[in-house]
Amino acid sequence: MRRWGTADRRGSAAVLILGLALAGCSTGGTVSGSAKTATGKASGTTTPGRGGASTAPSVASGRQGLPTAPPPPDTTVSQADAAAALKAYQSTNNAADAGLDTAAMAKIESGSQLALDQTTLVYDQGIGGDRAKQAKMPSTYTNPVFYRVPATTYPRGFFVTTDAVTSGVANSSFLMHFTQDQAGAPWLLDTTVTLGSGQQWPAFAVGPDGLLDYNATQQNNLLLAPADLAAADRTMLADDNAGQPGSPFLSDDPTTAELRWIQGMTENVAPASAALTVTTAPTPPPIYLPLKDGGELVLYGTRLSLRISQSGRTFTFGDEGWAKVAGSDSISDEYTADALWMVAAIDPPDKAAKVQKIAQYGGLVAVH
């Protein structure tokens, strides 16, 4: 897992500098226990479906003398297995980073997370120098808190909040989701969002069995649907209205990071024109997590497409690391850089305050 934001370039293009996100409350300890509860499945991952997980009932005919069907098996990941999965990921990820080995990443990641981290490795390798050197630095995950998802079938999964310690960069705190497609299959990381240095994740709600307590969410009551959040992101990128009366957001640090990315993509191509498209359909589908203090945290993906164009212009990428991503060292007339950002936002329990964006993780996924 690469730390895209640790070495972002800052150019001279005029962009808006937005506000600083607020930190969540502290999380501590570990979560354990087991239960026989079904989970939803979204986009190939084991995640809580909208409306929460439902208890899988025994099947009975309602007629006297007929036996009740046995309950479904409990496939909920154990505390020990979750810890082992995180440890294995750390080892393999560090080896892949050290060798800038994109093929090795496919053994420990999947989906958009894999596309993002593979492209970042290629980008780092293309730039070389200090960027590639930093990309090879190992990370150590400390203070993990595991939030296990109840399951009665595969795929199954779990969440973990953990601090990442890496030489040369400020420490950060990750919320990660791992999934396992079938018994004995490798655990794959498919979602990551990142808090800045010094911030901590809010505690998620767990039941008496120690598993995520989906009954604690205020389901279907978000102030904004994730598609509306993505559309609001697009407005913020243009208008810098975070925290203002017409804004849906209390804070917007993730969008500030997006603006820095846009600035970095355009700083060496002036005076070419640039056009930004932000998807309003969340990709990947949103994930909802209940918060201990009420309300819920929603994770959703936003895709950015930044098109740079100028008739008759040849854009050269030899010194930018884009050559390997684009499969060419130059592109004529125009090119598009696609990025994916995972965002974490808190919907307050009393619905009186605005949505608070607290975390993000993202960067370049393709150039064409």
* DSSP codes, 232-271: HHHHHHHH--TTSTT-SEEE-HHHHHHHHHHHHHHTTSTT
Amino acid at 237: L
The dihedral sign for the CA sequence 131, 324, 328, 337: negative
Neighbours of 132 (CB within 10 A): 16
pTM over 0.85: no
Residues 266 and 306 sit within 8 Å (Cβ to Cβ): yes
What is the Cα–Cα distance from 141 to 173, expressed in whole angstroms? Answer: 9
Neighbours of 128 (CB within 10 A): 11
Buried b (16+ CB within 10 A) or exposed e, 59-87: eeeeeeeeeeeeebeebbbebebbbebbe
Structure tokens at 364: 């370049």
What is the Cα–Cα distance from 314 to 331, expressed in whole angstroms? Answer: 6
User: Residue holding tokens 């957001």?
Assistant: 249
Q: State residue 234's pLDDT score.
A: 78
What are the DSSP E strand ranges found in the chain?
41-42, 45-46, 139-148, 156-166, 172-180, 188-195, 249-251, 273-278, 287-290, 296-316, 330-347, 355-367
Neighbours of 288 (CB within 10 A): 23
Q: How many angstroms separate the Cα of 170 from the Cα of each of 139, 173, 194?
A: 11, 10, 12
Q: Computed over its alpha carbons, how large is the radius of gyration of the chain?
A: 22
pLDDT mean for each 10 residues of the chain (368 residues): 45 27 31 33 37 34 66 91 97 93 94 92 88 88 94 95 86 93 96 82 91 76 73 75 72 80 79 82 81 87 89 84 87 92 84 81 90
In 3D, which of 331, 333, 359, 332 has the Cα closest to residue 345? 359
Strands 355-367, 330-347: pairing is antiparallel
What is the Cα–Cα distance from 208 to 35, expressed in whole angstroms? Answer: 10
Residues 19 and 256 sit within 8 Å (Cβ to Cβ): yes
Give Cα 109 to chain centroid, integer Å. 12
Q: State residue 79's pLDDT score.
A: 94
